[in-house]
Structures are given as C-alpha cells and as structure tokens.
A and B are shown apart, each in its own frame.
Chain A
Amino acid sequence: MDKLKPHRTGIIFGLLTLAAVTMILSDSPERRLGPLDRAILALAAPLQKTFTAAGRRVSAAVEDYLGLVEVNRENEALRSIIAELRGALVAAREARIENERLRAMLGLRTHEPPDLYPASIIAEDSTGWFRRVRIDRGSEQGLRVGLAVVAPEGVVGQVTAVGRNTAEVLLVIDRNSAVPVVLQRSRSRGIATGEGGGHLSIEFVARADEVAEGDIVVTSGLGGVYPKGLSVGRVIHVDKPDAGLFQRVWIAPSVDFSRLEEVLVHIPSPLDEVDPAFAQGVGAGGDAPEPGS
C-alpha cells in the first residue's frame, strides 16, 4: 500500500475519469437516475425554486416598469383579439355540440378528460446547449419517463428523467426532440424536430402537399407520447425546392418558452393507454370489437 501512496492522486483522478467516461457512454435520452442522483436533486430542488422565484420577481419588476409604455397599445390589440376570440368561441361551442351529437349517433366512446397535473418550472439547462427544464413534480406525484407535458397554448415537451420530487422535461424546441404532427388544413403528416433557436421544422413533407404560411400544426397522436390534436405551432416558412420529393416546413411554436413558468403534465388514464376490450380481443386472437360494443 505504501508503494501506491505517492500515486494516490493519479489513481483517484484515473478512477474519476473512468467514472465520467462510463457515465457518458451509458447516457441515454431517457435517463435512469440512481439513489445518489435523486438525493442530490431533492436537496437542490428548494435552492433552485428559491433562485428561480427570486429572479422572476426581479425580472417581473423590471418588465412591469418598462412595459408601462406599451400598455395602451397592447390594450387595444388585446381588445381586438378578445372580440375575435369571442366569435371563435361561439363557433367552437357549436362545433363541440355538433361533435357530441355525431359521436352519440355513431356510438363512439367519449374520451375521458385527460389527467393534467400542474407543475412549476424550477430550473433550466445551465449549459445553454440543450432545451430542457426541470419541474417540481416527480415519481411521488406519479410522474414517469415518457409523459407528455403541455401548457394551455400547446405542447411543451416530454418527461425524460424522474426524481422523487422533480422531473426533467425535454422541450419540443430541443434538437433532440421529435413530435409526430399533422398539418390541420392539408392533413399532411410529418415529424417536427426542434431547431434549438426557438423554432421547429418538419422535414420530409411530400412536395406535392399543399402547405401555406399560417397553417396550424397539431400533434398527430402517433408515437404514443402526445395526445392527438394538441397545438404545436403555426407555419412561418415553407422551403419548397424546385426539384426533389420533399419540402421543409418551419414552425413557430404555440408556446412562448421564454416566458413559460407553469406546465401541465399529462398522465393518461389506463383507459387511454390500452383499451381493455381491444386488448382482450387481441389477446384472445380474435378481432377487435366494433366501436361502441
């Protein structure tokens, strides 16, 4: 042992390097946190909450002061938006009533309202290279990896790692994110990936598909993470080459991520995940039951 003593530092540094390399190589988009990680996250969560809350108060005070100048102009703009939305609300109510009536006529199962759990954002990626946030809800509140996270405006991201009282959320604008989407008007499907700079893009949209700026993009429900029909964003640019099979579509997200403070975690009910009647039908080797049966 005495022979090793002069090399103690070298051995420790070597072991630490080995540990770091192992961590890097075993890293995956969906992280599995160990007991030590969970303990550290639990310890750091109150600090992160405090710093974030304090910082937001300062930012809000500064913004309130600077924003006073713009208030009148913004008020007018908001009034006109409210008037437009009132009209849209009436139309939406009509559509909902019609939808309910048609569903009843067809005998379709009405989807249960999704279980949405509110959570606050307590931290962000400190390196700045990724678009991830940490929320103040974890496994104790029933969260697990793969759950969709939304805001009233639309899709936010998905849970990629879960601690006891905190969870990590990969935002849809991160370059490592992929959301199956559909263009509401043309029904063209694609995968929206984050561009890192606050926008998303859809590659591999067939060149023949009609896509225009302003088109609304919603989740397609494929992939099993995001429920169908959630707003993802609005088309802001279409890159249609003169030749080739595909066009590229750029999207501005519905959610303003720079101002996002609270989110809703979508915990699907077992009914949403697997239809028992369907599962039974498949398990028995028979056909899936008819809708409404």
Chain B
Amino acid sequence: MRLSVVFALLILVVASLESALGTVSGVDVRPNFTVIFVVFFSHHFPRTRGGVAAFVMGYLRDLLSGGLMGANALLMLLLYIGSRATARKLFAHSWLFIAVSVAAGTFITDAGFFVIARSLPHAVAMPGDFARRSVLNALVTGAFAPPVWWCLARLKYWLALRREEPAT
C-alpha cells in the first residue's frame, strides 16, 4: 500500500516535471523519465501493479503533455510487457545495460508514437526530423537512466519494500 501511494505521488510529480522541462530548457530533445520508470517497474514491481502503473504514467504523459490522448498509455503498457518478458533473458544488471535498454525502450516508444500518429483517421502532423530527434531523445534518456534508476532503487530499499511476486 505504502509503495503504491509513494509511487503514485512520485509518478504525478515526474509527469508534471516532464511537462515543465520543455518550458524551462526551450529545446526539443529531452529525457523521457516515463520510460525509465516503466522499465524500472518491469524489474521491481509485481506484474499486475507494474502494468497498471505503466499505463497510468503513459496516461498522465498524454494528459499533461497535450499530445495524442491514449498513445503513450498504450505504448507504456506494451513497453512494460515487452520489458518484463525480456528482463530475465537480457538484463545483465549493469549500469551500461540499464542505459542501453532504456535508450532502446525510448526509441521504440517514440517510433510507436509516430506510427500511431500517422495511422489515425484524423491527420496528426509530426516533425520532419523525427528520426534524428528520436535518436537524441533515446541517448539523453539512456544517459539519465542509471542515476534515476539508482534513486528509485534507493527509494524502494528505504521504504523496505520487496517484490511481492516473482517475475514470470
């Protein structure tokens, strides 16, 4: 319960922070903290709760960003499922691998967002330099992943919370 409340508040804070980042930095490339959180959840949260948290994070990103409603909610849920499925096979528990897997997750969700936006019945125009910015987003997010991951792991440890069910 304590885990859910603390992380729910944290999710709202992070979603708000993300939407304020653009205003502050004035640049188009920015770290995607949502992806870092979702990949973290896939390793450290119980299966159902982690999936719901990933969906909520995506939904908040959609709502607070003013983008395409539902797209990030779907993509974060799919990222969570994919990350959880491959966690045991690929995850090597090194900071480099965390950075690489988060960067890959960022690029894949960006690509997914592009595909959804372009395939909708009503036209949603996307930037022409999408590929370049996606790669830069992935690199920046990958660079941020280890410290954010470390903070989340410390927070979880501090709350003396453990995984409630084994990853499947």
Contacts and interface: CB of A to CB of B under 8 A. Distances in A.
Interface of A: 8-9, 12-13, 16-17, 19-29, 31, 37, 40-41, 43-44, 47-48, 51-52, 55-56, 58-59, 121-130, 132-134, 160-161, 168, 170, 174-176, 196-197, 258-259
Contacts of A31: 69
Interface string B48-80: 100110010011111111111111111001000
Contact of B17 (A24, A51, A59, A175): A51
A206 to B, nearest CB: 24
Contact of A13 (B51, B117, B122): B51
Contacts of B12: 40, 43-44, 47
Nearest to A20: B74
Contacts of A134: 19, 64, 66
Interface in B90-144: 113, 116-117, 120-130, 133, 137
B20 A123 contact: yes
Nearest to B128: A196
Interface residues of B, number: 57
B65 A127 contact: yes
A31 B68 CA distance: 10
A16 B55 contact: yes
B70 A22 contact: yes
Contact of B122 (A9, A22, A28): A28
B24 A55 contact: yes
B24 A126 contact: no
Closest 7 A-B residue pairs measured CB to CB? A23-B70, A55-B24, A175-B125, A124-B22, A20-B74, A51-B20, A132-B66
Contact of B22 (A37, A125, A197, A259): A125
B68 A17 contact: no
Given A44-B12, A134-B64, A196-B128, 18 more contacts: A16-B52, A16-B55, A27-B70, A29-B122, A40-B63, A44-B16, A47-B17, A48-B19, A48-B64, A56-B23, A122-B20, A123-B19, A123-B64, A124-B21, A127-B65, A129-B67, A175-B127, A197-B127
15 contacts: A20-B71, A25-B121, A40-B12, A55-B24, A121-B23, A122-B23, A124-B19, A126-B19, A126-B30, A127-B67, A128-B22, A128-B30, A128-B137, A134-B64, A134-B66
B74 A47 contact: no
B63 A41 contact: yes
A23 B70 CA distance: 5
Given A23-B73, A128-B137, A12 B16 contact: no
User: Main SS of chain B's interface residues?
Assistant: helix
Contacts of B116: 24
Contacts of B44: none
B127 A24 contact: no
Contacts, number: 171
Given A17-B77, A129-B67, A129-B113, A12 B48 contact: yes
A160 B17 CA distance: 22
A47 B120 CA distance: 32
B20 A130 contact: no
Q: Which of B12, B20, B120, B127 has the most CB of A within 10 A?
A: B20
B29 interface: yes
Contacts of B122: 27-29
Nearest to A261: B23
Interface string B1-20: 00000000000110111111
B33 to A, nearest CB: 9
B74 A24 contact: yes
B61 A126 contact: yes
Contacts of B164: none
Contacts of B117: 129
A25 B52 CA distance: 21
Nearest to B133: A128
Contact of B126 (A55, A58, A129): A129
A8 B48 CA distance: 8
Contact of B77 (A20, A29, A127, A133): A20
